[in-house]
Amino acid sequence: MEDLGVTPAFWRGRRVFLTGHTGFKGSWLTLWLRNWGAEVAGFALPPPTEPSMYELARLGGEVRETMADIRDAAAVRRALADHEPEIVIHMAAQPLVARGYAAPAETVEVNTMGTVYLLEAVRATPSVRAVVVVTSDKCYRNSGQPRGFQETDPLGGHDPYAASKAAAELVAAAWRDSFFSGGPPDRRRVALATARAGNVIGGGDWSPGRLVPDVVRALLAGEPVALRHVDAVRPWQHVLEALAGYLELAERLVNQPNEAVGAWNFGPDKDSHRTVADLVERLVELWGDPVPWMPDGRPRMPEDRYLWLDSTRAREQLGWRPRLSFDETLQWIVEWHRAVAARAEVAREMTLDQIVRYVRRAVGEERAS
């Protein structure tokens, strides 16, 4: 287990509070944790898309869940008190850059004040030992530098979504230093870290305005693909790579809290830093049913052309590293969506199969359990 610092035995019977469990990433993580025997309580709004990974994977009966808005401070506090978790993983968010432009105040309220309300609820819940706040690779001040962002680089954000995630990082750091360090006023230690992943993709994402879901919808319909920002370079990574980082970080926060607090990048290898056009061409090729693509021609919202993460800290201190190549990531997406398009009822089994295959590769064992 040395290569992968997260193990099934650690999570078996562990009480986990997961916000955003009905979303794309949250659904994958819920199934992973339940497969390892964790006692999961979920807090989220109903699934944001139709179809949704949450419904197709039949997750409604898997967890104790509270369907509520992360901006409802009283509901967050009640749900945490009722479950008495040891670990909190905070993923509830407004996750779309485009939505940030359309609803900037809502985006800041959900992503920044939602983090405040979650951490205030943690202050009132003595059982909590570790918190992972998931933010974004877009939390950095992007000045076009020719290197990957490091955790010590300045925070910023040219758009409402990015700014809301940078603000969530500042909130997490302030609450860690002010209330969870063992000093006054709370005199309580809670190990708190933030996690910044790359552009997360995978089967089961139907979010509007995201590249892979838009391409998959076009492929399933046999329609042309219209693209924004075709020359933008992004760090594409499979959802399981990011989730493995979150789980490994949470485990380390419990076992070695002094070494694990702070900010962590979880980004792919440089081979997976590809343009939007590169990703679409390869995804269409792997799908096997050629469809044309072209720029959508509409006025474009400002977006940074180049963005990638330096994950040296996670590699050297956690032992985390990416396991899937760029091609494998896209192959797993094609495999998942083709199978589910043919028989929707296999979504849960396909998801579990990819989780098990990923863990087998990571630990180098014949069995994931």
Give the pLDDT band (50/70/90) at residue 147.
confident
Whether 4 has a pLDDT exceeding 70, the answer reads no
Residue 369 resides in a domain:
no
Whether 139 has a pLDDT exceeding 60, the answer reads yes
CA atoms within 13 A on the CB side of 304: 22
Residue 58 resides in a domain:
yes
Residue 368 resides in a domain:
no
More confident residue, 302 or 65: 65
Evaluated on CA atoms 343, 344, 349, 355, the torsion sign reads positive
pLDDT in tens, 210-254: 899 999 999 888 888 778 778 888 899 999 999 999 999 999 999
Tell me which residue has tokens 């021609």.
297
- Residue 295, pLDDT score: 66
Spell out a b/e string for 22-37, using b for 16 or more CB atoms within 10 Å of the CB, else e.
Answer: bbbbbbbbbbbbbbbe
CA distances from 73 to 94, 110, 122, 173 (A): 17, 11, 11, 20
Give the pLDDT band (50/70/90) at residue 2.
very low
Give the pLDDT band (50/70/90) at residue 303.
low
Residue 171 resides in a domain:
yes
For the chain, the domain total comes to: 1
Tell me which residue has tokens 């706040």.
133
Q: Which residues contact 57 (CB under 8 A, 6 or more apart)?
A: 27, 31, 204, 347, 348, 351
Query: Residue 316 maps to which CATH number?
Result: 3.40.50.720
Lowest mean pLDDT among 31-45, 233-247, 351-365: 351-365
Residue 335 resides in a domain:
yes
- Residue 42, pLDDT score: 98
- Nearest 5°: the CA angle 64, 132, 47 is 45
pLDDT in tens, 196-220: 998 999 999 999 888 999 999 998 8
Q: Where are the alpha helices (DSSP H) in 36-96?
A: 53-56, 73-83
Q: 92, 90, 97: which is closest to 48 by C-alpha?
A: 92
Residue 96 corresponds to which tokens in the numbers above?
């779309």
Whether 123 has a pLDDT exceeding 50, the answer reads yes
Bond before 185 cis per omega within 30 degrees: yes
Give the pLDDT band (50/70/90) at residue 195.
very high
Provide the domain limits for residue 333: 8-363
Residue 2 resides in a domain:
no
Q: Which amino acid is at 8?
A: P
- Nearest 5°: the CA angle 62, 350, 35 is 35
